[in-house]
Amino acid sequence: MSPLHDWPYLVAAIAGLTVITVATRTSFFLLPARFTLPAGIERALRYAPACALAAIVAQGVFAPEQRPFISWYNNQMWALLAGSLVFAKTRNMVATITVGMAVFTVLRLWA
Amino acid sequence: MSPTSAPPRSLPARRLLPQMDHAAYQEGLRAMAPLAVAIGVWGLVTGVAMVNAGLTIPIALLMTFTVFAGSAQLAVLPLLATGTPLAVVWVTALLVNLRFVIFAAAGRRSFVHLPWQQRLVAGYLNGDLGFALFSRRFTEATDHGTPEQYGYFYGTAVVNWVSWQVASVAGILMGGLLPTEWGFVLAAYLALAAVLIPMVREVPALVGVAVTAALAVATVRWPMRLGLLVAVVAGVAVALAVEAVQGSVVARRAMPDSVLPQQGDA
């Protein structure tokens, strides 16, 4: 059975994700005032989300089938490169997605 | 500290929401309105990606209405699709969400005096954009936890929540109609890249992210996707090391600008 049709697994996953989101967003709203965020921890916390997102994007784009695929023929790689350049220039997420998907589609159909 | 002069507290909303200034609420609505399009596109992509990755419509709807965190939802999609153990799924989401802990620490002065139910609701709605607007609007404030602040906060939160959910539901319903070969899962990675790029303006973050990306690809075949977590821990350690080598930390900004996306995310 595909994990995406294993609904007890998915419902458990979603319940946990909800708890995690609420817990992180409300963390310091609920903690007593004597708890503060030490500077060292705060610095680590600043890097963790960027690294986690990088890991997900890198695996998704450069290892789409759970196997490294670093090649000129990796269409997703070119799409990500084009999208990232557009974002760096425009800071516009809509333009980033549009250009990235356009590059991917052109390569998929014609390359 | 609940307001004692409040009218009969029969509606549940009265127990869950603090007293608000109406003009500030309107101001919050107006401040967030121009961002609704970006939030909508981000929600649409998330909705399409969830269904395109293979989630059924009821499960995708459940996820969007409960989790309400775009980056985390998109980040765990490829993990759910491969049946990754729940612990790894959850730790990944936790890592992506750690920026919210910084937001909560930064905003606590304004919310800490409310009853706990109200703090819970406010915290749940404290997404990236609302937090960014709120911080900017009240940087100079000397009073915290005023009806003006709550009004503004909930004005931005309403626009954020409504535009995100409407667009997500539209994306979920559309997602089933779009062929998988069109590769809309890639749109999710492009959206995550747009969240990621503003976070890497400084050298330590850049090095950390590069190390993480390389390790994540190299370890992709490790059992239970554990390579993902190892890559993140290594990346954070390298970023901190680079920061230490760079010498004393130059007077850090009070607000964690570097973790704020420019636009998008719920």
What is the per-residue DSSP string for B56-95?
A: -HHHHHHHHHHT--HHHHHHHHHHHHTT--HHHHHHHHHH
- The minimal CB distance from B67 to the residues A21, A48, A54 is found for A21
User: What is the tens place of the pLDDT at every residue in B14-44?
Assistant: 689 999 999 999 999 999 988 888 889 889 9
User: Which residues are within 8 A (CB) of B56 and not within 5 positions of it... i.e. 6 or more apart?
Assistant: A4, A5, A7
Region for residue B23 given its phi and psi (left: phi exceeds 0; alpha: psi -120 to 50; beta: otherwise): alpha
- The minimal CB distance from A97 to the residues B41, B83, B99 is found for B41
- The minimal CB distance from A28 to the residues B93, B105, B240 is found for B105
Contact yes or no for B216 and A54 at CB 8 A: yes
- Give the chain A residue whose CA is nearest to the CA of B106: A28
Whole-number Å distance between alpha carbons of A102 and B206 = 27
Neighbouring CB atoms inside 10 A of A31's CB total 15
- The minimal CB distance from A91 to the residues B188, B199, B262 is found for B262
Whole-number Å distance between alpha carbons of B131 and B111 = 13
Among B46, B52, B84, B98, the strongest candidate for a mutation testing the A interface, having the largest count of A CBs within 10 A, is: B98
User: What is the tens place of the pLDDT at every residue in A32-53?
Assistant: 878 888 888 888 888 999 999 9
Q: Spell out which residues of chain B touch residue A42, defining contact as CB-CB under 8 Å.
A: 102, 105, 256
Tell me which residue of B142, B246, B135, B109 sits closest to A37, measured CA to CA: B109
Min mean pLDDT across B106-110, B192-196, B225-229, B244-248 is at B244-248
- Give the chain B residue whose CA is nearest to the CA of A7: B59
Quote the Cα angle for B95-B99-B102, to 5°. 130
Amino acid identity at B203: V
CB B87 within 8 A of CB B100: no
Residue with more model confidence, A36 or B249: A36
Min mean pLDDT across A68-82, B170-184, B202-216 is at B170-184
Position B262 scores a pLDDT of 45
Position B158 scores a pLDDT of 96
pLDDT at B6 over 70: no
Contact yes or no for A59 and B78 at CB 8 A: yes
pLDDT at B253 over 70: no
CB B220 within 8 A of CB B227: yes
- Count A/B contacts: CB-CB distance under 8 Å: 306
Whole-number Å distance between alpha carbons of B250 and B130 = 28
Whole-number Å distance between alpha carbons of B25 and B23 = 5
Question: What is the three-class DSSP state of B264?
Answer: coil
Confidence of residue B254 (pLDDT cuts 50, 70, 90): very low
Whole-number Å distance between alpha carbons of B30 and B35 = 10
- Joined tokens for residue B69: 């965190």
pLDDT at B252 over 80: no
CB B92 within 8 A of CB B230: no
Contact yes or no for B196 and A50 at CB 8 A: yes
User: Which residues are within 8 A (CB) of B61 and not within 5 positions of it... i.e. 6 or more apart?
Assistant: B169, B172
Position B29 scores a pLDDT of 95
Position B13 scores a pLDDT of 67
Position A2 scores a pLDDT of 75
Alpha helices, DSSP H only, in chain B?
Answer: 12-16, 22-32, 36-52, 57-66, 70-81, 86-111, 116-124, 128-137, 147-175, 184-196, 203-218, 226-245
Among B80, B220, B240, B260, the strongest candidate for a mutation testing the A interface, having the largest count of A CBs within 10 A, is: B220
Whole-number Å distance between alpha carbons of B11 and B16 = 9
Specify burial of residue B111 (Cβ count, 10 A radius: 0-12, 13-18, 19+).
Answer: buried
Rounded to 5 degrees, φ, ψ at B145 are: 75, 40
How far apart are the CA of A20 and the nearest CA of chain B, in angstroms? 6
CB B45 within 8 A of CB B164: no
Q: Spell out which residues of chain A touch residue B194, defining contact as CB-CB under 8 Å.
A: 83, 87, 93, 96-97
User: What is the tens place of the pLDDT at every residue in B62-110?
Assistant: 999 999 998 899 999 999 998 999 999 999 999 999 989 988 988 888 9
Rounded to 5 degrees, φ, ψ at A35 are: -85, 125
Confidence of residue B178 (pLDDT cuts 50, 70, 90): confident
Position B22 scores a pLDDT of 95
Helical (H) or strand (E) element with A99: helix A93-110
- Average pLDDT score, chain B: 86
CB B193 within 8 A of CB A80: yes
Confidence of residue A1 (pLDDT cuts 50, 70, 90): low
Residue with more model confidence, B262 or A94: A94
Confidence of residue B242 (pLDDT cuts 50, 70, 90): very high
Position B54 scores a pLDDT of 87
Residue with more model confidence, B252 or B153: B153
- Give the chain A residue whose CA is nearest to the CA of B231: A55
Average pLDDT over residues B141-156: 93
Residue found by looking up tokens 């999710």 in the block: B188
Helical (H) or strand (E) element with A85: helix A75-90
